[in-house]
Amino acid sequence: MNRLLLWVIFAGLITNTAVGQGLRIVSESNLELGRSSWRFMPGDNKRWADSAFNDRSWKKQPIETTIELNDTIWRKNQGWFRQTLHPGATILKKDLRLVVKQFGASEIYLDGRLFAVLTPPRFDSGGSQRLIRFVPIRFTDTNQHILAVRYRFRRDPIVQASTDISPLSIHPQEADEIGVSLVDETQWPAVLSGCMIGVCGILALLHYLFYRANRSQPINRTLAWAMLFFMLAASMAELNDFVGTLTYVSLTDLIGDVSLHAGFVLLLTGVYQYLHLRRRWIYYGILTIVFIDQLYRTGIGSLLNEFGWVPLALVIIDYIRVSWLGRKTKDVDARLPWNSLKASLYCFLLIIVCGLILGLAESLIKDMIEYILVVFVLLVAGAIFSIPVGLSLSLVRDYTRTYKALGNNLREVEQLSARTLAQEQEKQHLLARQNELLEEQVQARTAELHQSLEDLRATQEQLVQREKLASLGELTAGIAHEIQNPLNFVNNFAEVSVELVEELHEEREKPEGERDKELETDLLSDLGQNVQKISDHGKRAANIVRGMLQHSRTRSGQKQPTDLNALVDEYLRLAYQGLRAKDKSFNAHLTTRFAPTLPAVNIVPEDIGRVLVNLFNNAFYAVQQKSQSELDFVPTVSVQTAQDDNQLVIRIRDNGTGIPDEVRQKVFQPFFTTKPTGQGTGLGLSLSYDIVVKGHGGLLKVETEPGEFTEFTITLPVE
């Protein structure tokens, strides 16, 4: 129980040191004035300066007090302070000064007489309201004197409702000691504040650099922000004594309070992260209390008045609890936060001891007071900085251990590298020998592969040539069969015409009386009709030859505008007649649906003709194979042309055997064929694909259903 009480006192000391107790009204001196306590009355009445006025009903003002701006007694922003003085004989006729430190304006009365008027130069128009004056005063008797102060200040807009100010600090002092006293009052607090700002700033920078070097440790980022907020809080506390108006005072109070709350919360978060503890309801409960306290301070006022240190004390208590949990673990590093707390406690105990020594033996150690103050400041700094510095040192130790481990690993790696290098050198000798053998083998195999490639290339060329010859043979057969019809007509009508001519000669050789004029006329008429039919069928054959000659003249591979409908129709008939020339029993139903308004397309006609012949031959082959297995089957091949935006589409569909799924993905591969050996080279569709896709920038795709149909679609861009 005593140990717990000791830690609670310790938490209160830390909080009071960090938060402070505001500014104050004090009246202290080592001179014998026999002072009574101050009495205070809000409002304004000039009679209150009279020494005969009875102020017993006034409120006794404690030595340490502040003006709470949200207090109802300060709504008028003015009030009076009175104090009774009983000068001792030792100060009579001494050169004294009333050291007045105030925020605002004041009028000082001694025994009802206006003694001094202290007003900042710009009190009514803005600017600084802080003032330090040294007012001369001299006592010539030891009678009772009444010191009355009429105080007022200007209420500026504030940004934090809990802002308070210290109205007055008055104490008499000998003129020769004023300078030394002011230095003593400001020297050590300034040193302590400077240490706080400097150390926190350095720690913030170091932790930030640690985090930049290793982002896997978020505690460095947390502590960097915590130290930055502590530095800002210390800066605002130091700046608060120099800013002027209430607006600036409240602004520094707001920034200082927010920074202090954030710094303590982040420090608590850091110890959770360092010990790898899960943050539970206690942590979030304290965080909520601190947040509510800050909101209340900003919007309404001080939440707990003189107990305003409680929220931050809860943070310190939870910090102690978490550190105690870390102390219970077997990890040596986890005990470091607890050791930091012990160091802070020892420093505070020594501070108390130093304070007691100064209070009890001030006269005996007057010559050593400066050295004791140095020790006192160092102890305060140690008490404040031991906690954050302890966490920082623990992280530095982690980095040191990591560095040593990396050094050891590096040495092991160097040793392993040396061994590996020696082994590699041995392997290099073996590899060199093996490489020589492999090079010889590779050269021999390369020669073999080169010969194989030459053979394969020759075979491919032969197959390509065979495919071309096969296409040419099929095309030639179609042409021959197509020309055969008009030639048969020409021959038949020529033979009939010869017979008619012979009959006509026989008739004309008869005597004049025996000749039949009507028969001669009929023979001449039949002969004229036969000659006309011979001429018509001769022209048809000539047109076929002329068309083929035109196609044969474009062997340069140059693209030219072409009527796609005529090209498709011509090669459909040639392919069909070519197949019938081989198999007289084959018949198929041909269906054409040509778009009537197709524009001329810029293509290489003989290349696209070769594609069409290949696709038509495949369609006729498919329906021929199916007709051999189905009796009632009607072989049908349909051709359709259409225009789709800037593309011309040719669809060739048959109702033949279709293409199985496992084969469809391979139909455009070179040398792949499903036909029996000797009937296909496997280059027809491959060459067709290259002509359409690579040669003309189009598309060639197939849709099929096994046993039902196959449809090839050619898409050509209209350039």
Q: Give the pLDDT confidence of 41-91 residue by residue, as tens digits.
A: 888 888 898 888 888 888 887 645 777 777 777 777 888 888 888 887 777
For residues 271 and 323, is the Cβ–Cβ distance under 8 A?
yes
| Tens digits of residue pLDDT in 99-113 | 888 888 889 998 888
Domain extents in the chain: 2-18+184-400, 22-177, 579-719
Pairing of β 699-705 and β 636-644 = unpaired
For residues 316 and 388, is the Cβ–Cβ distance under 8 A?
no
Q: What angle do CA 199, 200, 204 make, to 5 degrees?
A: 120
Task: Name the residue type at position 287.
Answer: L
* Cα 187 from Cα 181, distance rounded (Å): 10
Give the three-state DSSP class for 639.
strand
Residue 604's nearest CA partner among 697, 493, 701 is: 697
* Cα 661 from Cα 684, distance rounded (Å): 20
CATH, range 2-18+184-400: 1.20.1070
| Tens digits of residue pLDDT in 553-568 | 444 467 888 888 888 8
Tokens of 303: 């939440």
Overall average pLDDT of the 378-394 stretch: 62
What is the CB neighbour count within 10 angstroms for residue 336? 22
Whole-number percent of the chain with pLDDT over 90:
4
**pLDDT over threshold 50, residue 404:** yes
Pairing of β 145-152 and β 78-85 = antiparallel
**pLDDT over threshold 80, residue 219:** no
Phi-psi domain of 43 (left: phi exceeds 0; alpha: psi -120 through 50; beta: other): left
Residue 526's nearest CA partner among 502, 556, 550 is: 502
Which is more confidently placed, 532 or 571? 571
**Of 364-378, 522-536, 592-606, which gets the smallest average pLDDT?**
364-378
**pLDDT over threshold 90, residue 650:** yes
Give the model's confidence band at 549: pLDDT under 50 very low, under 70 low, under 90 confident, else very high. low
Query: What one-character DSSP code corresponds to residue 670?
Result: T
Per-residue model confidence (pLDDT) at position 474: 57
φ/ψ (deg, to 5) at 394: -65, -40
For residues 91 and 32, is the Cβ–Cβ distance under 8 A?
yes
How would you class 133 by CB atoms within 10 Å of its CB: exposed for 0-12, middle for 13-18, buried for 19 or more? middle
Measured between alpha carbons, how far apart are the two ends of the chain, in Å?
A: 98
Tell me whether the CATH fold assigned to 2-18+184-400 matches the one assigned to 22-177.
Answer: no
Residue 688's nearest CA partner among 696, 676, 677 is: 696
Tokens of 79: 């009030």
Residue 44's nearest CA partner among 81, 70, 69, 71 is: 81
Per-residue model confidence (pLDDT) at position 55: 85
Give the model's confidence band at 38: pLDDT under 50 very low, under 70 low, under 90 confident, else very high. confident
Which is more confidently placed, 715 or 465? 715
Which is more confidently placed, 460 or 317? 317
Overall average pLDDT of the 655-665 stretch: 82
* Cα 112 from Cα 297, distance rounded (Å): 40
Which is more confidently placed, 164 or 636? 636
Instruction: Place domain 22-177 in its CATH homologous superfamily.
Output: Galactose-binding domain-like (2.60.120.260)
Give the model's confidence band at 388: pLDDT under 50 very low, under 70 low, under 90 confident, else very high. low
Count of residues in the chain = 719
Give the model's confidence band at 21: pLDDT under 50 very low, under 70 low, under 90 confident, else very high. very low
How is domain 579-719 classified at the CATH fold level? Heat Shock Protein 90 (3.30.565)
Which is more confidently placed, 398 or 312? 312
For residues 652 and 639, is the Cβ–Cβ distance under 8 A?
yes
